[in-house]
Amino acid sequence: MALDPTKYADWEIAEAAEATMKTVYQLGEELGLEKEELLPHGHYVAKVDYKSVLERLKDRPDGKYINVTAITPTPLGEGKSTTTMGLAQGMGKRGKNVFATIRQPSGGPTMNVKGSAAGGGLSQCIPLTPFSLGLTGDINAVMNAHNLAMVAVTSRLQHEFNATDAFMKRRGLERLNIDPRNVEMKWIIDFCAQALRNIVIGLGTRRDGLMMHSGFAIAVSSEVMAILAMAKDLEDMRRRMGGIVVAYDKRGKPITTEDLGVAGAMTAWMVEAINPNLMQTLEGQPTFVHAGPFANIAVGQSSIIADRVALKLSDYVLTESGFAADIGFEKFWNIKCRESGLTPHCAVIVATIRALKCHGGAPLPLPGQPLDPAYNEEQLEWVEAGCENLIHHINTVKKAGINPVVCINAFHTDTDNEIKLVRRLAEEAGARVALSRHWQHGGEGALELADAVIEACDEPSNFRFLYELETPLRERIDLIAREVYGADGAEYTPEALEKAKRMEADPALQKLGTCMVKTHLSLSDDPLIKGVPKGWKLFIRDILTYGGAGFVVPVAGAISLMPGTAANPAFMEVDVDVETGKVKGLF
């Protein structure tokens, strides 16, 4: 019997459920996997040989494809992962063959404020400890592959600086003339470490490398992680790996990993990581956990490979995109669907009364601080005003030609009047609406949501992209700013404008997608502005090139690729029972 989530912590609920969960061998048998296609990592986690499954089932029709997104969240989140797990459980209760695909959590938020993103209450992905603490080593592989590129460029800089042309020739090396002031990549680590954002390397003698400015970003922002999410197969991954721009030479020509001779070795680190990781919901529905890019600073999607395999193995696939519809869903719509060729049948927009109040004028919640008491009281004016943000996201989904389903992710403090108000306004905006209590009741609490999603998938859709790849870069940015964020257009720093013009003049770069970097806490580029801001322009301060992943990356506002750790991080609650070896305190 499941524990009551109002009385027990998530890790306690997960631990209790793990005592009776299915083994990966049971999951594999239920999915119809061949014995050789299941690659166990213990009894409850396995990788799946994607290549074998896709080849064997190439003639089987795909299942129906559903995206899970949200309104603009508070710093406390909207519960997309919880909803994805709960919806899978609810559809399972309805007898549907359903598969969920979600991202692997980064150690940064897991050990900081947000937690592990396994879901919560009675709607979780289990087993919780491996999910939260490294899983099968994919992020470690990403870090090794990425940092190997940094080893290659810093080593090459040192040797070229110190070596004569004759020395280079004897070793069969062409002088690349890398500009040490124009190394675009940084090192990565999978924690939030603000002290590493800006560093100086190469201190000491010339044997210790060339002294230069450098820094660290968080692992999930790495282009290698984006490639894991976007690659269609190993051949495609190898090609993309060679296109990563590491630095520029003294004439401004890009230097790639292929130029440095390191792309093959980087791919070697990723050979095992390309296979998706099989886990399960609290009620036994299969779940792929694969790739982990954030949506505010990266592409924000689980892997294309995981989705393709799941679509062959089930009738319905739920894939979650990071944060709200302005960033996670927009990238799903215009990047992931374009790269994969997959067409979604509907999108679930998760909303909480708590966040609607925040967008409607309630005091801003602060991470680690108690909520203002007003959040636990009926506040219809705040809820109604906040629904402007919800309706904005409904309209974004409708612009993609996809059927929207609003999930009211219920809290016990929500009142009937508040729920009725949200339901009425969302239905008037053209969305199906379902109340879901999956956090408290698991699949039984998500039956209304499951029914709404099944109905939406049976209706015709008219999927279309926001822009075509022939659209010039600045026009694309303007379209995203106006149509998705609600801005009056975009403006640029002189450096970003110069880069944009150069990219527009390069036919190869013109074919790349556009992956925006923007705060997830507002539709605007200012995290403190809630609701639906009016009369503003998106400020583009830089544009990065992710040639291997397949997109250019406009950076909006003051956002960092390396988050900071808070004063009261989650790791302070994590410990180990030394008698049993079990981890406790994860959430």
Positions marked active-site: 80, 82, 103, 114, 295, 323, 411, 439
**Sheet of 551-556, strands arranged across:** 490-492, 538-546, 551-556, 513-514
Q: How far from 55 is each of 304, 443, 460, 561, CA to CA, in Å?
A: 16, 33, 29, 38
Rg (CA), the chain: 24
Q: How far from 39 is each of 132, 311, 413, 434, CA to CA, in Å?
A: 20, 19, 44, 38
Dihedral angle at the C-alpha atoms of 521, 358, 491, 323, nearest 10 degrees?
A: 30
Backbone angles phi, psi at 207, to 5 degrees: -70, -15
CA distance 208 to 211: 8
Residue that is written with structure tokens 């004028």 in the block: 361
Q: Do residues 65 and 344 make contact, with C-beta atoms less than 8 angstroms apart?
A: yes
Q: How far from 61 is each of 95, 102, 256, 308, 318, CA to CA, in Å?
A: 19, 22, 39, 11, 16
Q: Do residues 557 and 542 make contact, with C-beta atoms less than 8 angstroms apart?
A: no
The DSSP element (H or E) to which 119 belongs, if any, is: strand 119-120
Q: Among 550, 526, 519, which Cα is nearest to 334's? A: 550
Helix, strand, coil percentages in the chain from 3-state DSSP, rounded to 5: 40, 20, 40
How many C-beta neighbours within 10 Å does residue 324 have?
Answer: 30
How many C-beta neighbours within 10 Å does residue 334 have?
Answer: 25
Cis peptide before 127 (omega within 30 of 0): yes
How many C-beta neighbours within 10 Å does residue 517 have?
Answer: 25
CA distance 471 to 467: 7
Q: Do residues 179 and 249 make contact, with C-beta atoms less than 8 angstroms apart?
A: yes
CA distance 547 to 117: 29
The token pair that represents 365 in the structure block: 């919640």
CA distance 175 to 224: 26
Backbone angles phi, psi at 247, to 5 degrees: -160, -175
Residue 391's SS3 state is: helix
Greatest pairwise CA separation for the chain in angstroms? 80
Contacts of 12 (CB under 8 A, 6+ apart): 3
